[in-house]
Amino acid sequence: MSKIKMISIIGAVSLILSACGSSSKVNNDESKPKFTIKDPEEVKKDDLPDVEGVEKQKDLVNNTEVRAAKELQEAVQVGKEKVIRDEYLVNTTIACGNLKSKCVIKSPQDLKPPKNKLINIKKWPIKNPIIHPKPQTYFSRRGSMKELKGEEDYYAIITNEPSQWLYVRQYDKVNNWHTVSDAVLILHDLWEGPLPLLEGDILASSASAGRHRDGITVKGSYHGNGNTVNVTFTSRKRKILVHNNDWFPEEFIFKDPLGKIIKQEKLAAYDSKDQKTFHWYHGITQRMIDGPQVKSPILEMAGIYTIESARCPWKICYIHVLKNPYAKISDDGSFNFKKVPVGKYKLEVWHQSLKPKQRYYDFEIEARGSTTKILIEFELPTDKK
């Protein structure tokens, strides 16, 4: 009797697998019988006989052949194979609309962000700081002369203390919110569009009195409305060029999205016959040539790479390596993505310091020329004023 039962079981499993593998033919030939592949739970309840020597039917339900039939059924999806896309294609004829967003911190009253503070070198100690044999002359904030003893004095009067409050803009009394600076928005699941792939920026280490985090920033952003940007975007399989435009030596550490060090290299100090000048000082900085440089390894995987200084712990840059070119950073919290193809996508919100209340948003561009709007809220800063 047990042999007959086992033969019946083998026949049932074979019948399931045969039906799954030939589903497209069955649909096209009405003369052949149709078979329905049931969910394992349904099979367990309805169609499996008792098997001697096996605790109920647990092992049979989990049988490799039955699970394989289930997985194949899900993958086939009525004769259509799943296609996993991983390469963005440029298509200038595709129908597009727009996405507008605003990043804000809602508040019934003005949070009164504090004024920027100069960095506390004791809190952010420099590794083996350089001391001049005798004080050297530098141009200071307003073009006056400063006698400085060394590296610690230099950074102490030119670099801002890292703080979440650096990214909170003025209060909007009409809407009862503060806009958020330097938020990053990235569009996912977008594999075709009219925009070309990202090339990437050139970066440089440079002291700055910009409103935001100083250190390793996008070259050319030193004078962008007083904002130094230490965030950039590029496509996969590219390299990033980094200069040392500071008057002191540097050691850059490159890390991949998993936090693994992929390169570490020392660079000499910036050397020029010109007078030593703080790099945000407009007239002189614009004439400065680029200092010693290093290239990153090829950035293979998508994700956030970082470049850090092994000497100055506040210096860091974030490199977003992306699969498509639809990503932006905003100084005033406003975003306007143009030429977004019609379709459904996922929007990711990222910030190096502040926390968004929601990390991902699903949205849709419904028709050519249409505009979708999303308001993005952030948590209140937790740093002390």
Contact 247, 291 (CB under 8 A): no
- One domain for residues 114 and 133: no
pLDDT at 314: 92
pLDDT at 200: 83
Domain ranges, residue 134: 123-157+198-316
Q: List the CATH number of the domain containing 355.
A: 2.60.40.10
For range 282-311, the mean pLDDT: 81
- Whether residue 85 is contained in a domain is answered as no
- One domain for residues 64 and 12: yes
- Whether residue 335 is contained in a domain is answered as yes
- Whether residue 215 is contained in a domain is answered as yes
- Whether residue 86 is contained in a domain is answered as no
- One domain for residues 62 and 38: yes
- Whether residue 88 is contained in a domain is answered as no
Indicate whether 240 pLDDT > 50: yes
- One domain for residues 127 and 248: yes
pLDDT at 231: 92
Q: How far apart are the C-alpha atoms of 337 and 325, rounded to whole Å? A: 11
pLDDT at 199: 87
- One domain for residues 130 and 212: yes
- One domain for residues 20 and 153: no
Q: Which residue has the higher pLDDT, 159 or 344?
A: 344
- Whether residue 285 is contained in a domain is answered as yes
Indicate whether 227 pLDDT > 90: no
For range 292-318, the mean pLDDT: 95
- One domain for residues 113 and 131: no
- Whether residue 48 is contained in a domain is answered as yes
Confidence of residue 143 (pLDDT cuts 50, 70, 90): low
Confidence of residue 43 (pLDDT cuts 50, 70, 90): very low
- One domain for residues 28 and 8: yes
Which domain-ending residue is among 76, 110, 133?
Answer: 76
pLDDT in tens, 22-37: 444 444 444 444 444 4
SS3 of the chain: the string is CHHHHHHHHHHHHHHHHHHHHCHHHHHHCCCCCCCCCCCHHHHHHHCCCCCCCCCCCHHHHCCHHHHHHHHHHHHHCCCCCCCCCCCCEECCCCCEEEEEEEEEEECCCCCCCCCCCECCCCCCCCCCCCEEEEEEEEECCCCCEEEEEEHHHHHHCCCECCCHHHHEEEEECCCCEEEECCEEEEEECCCEECCCCCCCCEEEEECCCCCCCCEEEECCCCCECCECCCEEEEECCECCEEEECCCCCEEEEEECCCCCEEEEEEECCCCCCCCCECCCCHHHHCCCCCCCEEECCCECCCEEEEEEECCCCCCEEEEEEECCCCEEEECCCEEEEEEEECEEEEEEEECCCCCECCCEEEEEECCCCCEEEEEEEECCCCCCC
Number of domains within the chain: 3
pLDDT at 285: 40
- One domain for residues 345 and 305: no
Range in 61-70, 117-126, 186-195, 374-383 the model is least confident about: 61-70
- One domain for residues 244 and 374: no
Indicate whether 344 pLDDT > 80: yes
Confidence of residue 206 (pLDDT cuts 50, 70, 90): confident
Indicate whether 82 pLDDT > 60: no
Q: Which residue has the higher pLDDT, 238 or 206?
A: 238
pLDDT at 217: 82
- Whether residue 106 is contained in a domain is answered as yes
- One domain for residues 279 and 298: yes
- One domain for residues 110 and 129: no
- Rounded to the nearest integer, the mean pLDDT of the chain is 78
Which domain-ending residue is among 292, 316, 340?
Answer: 316
Indicate whether 58 pLDDT > 90: no
Buried b (16+ CB within 10 A) or exposed e, 300-314: eeeebbbbbbebbeb
For range 25-50, the mean pLDDT: 42
Indicate whether 246 pLDDT > 60: yes
Which domain-ending residue is among 316, 341, 366?
Answer: 316
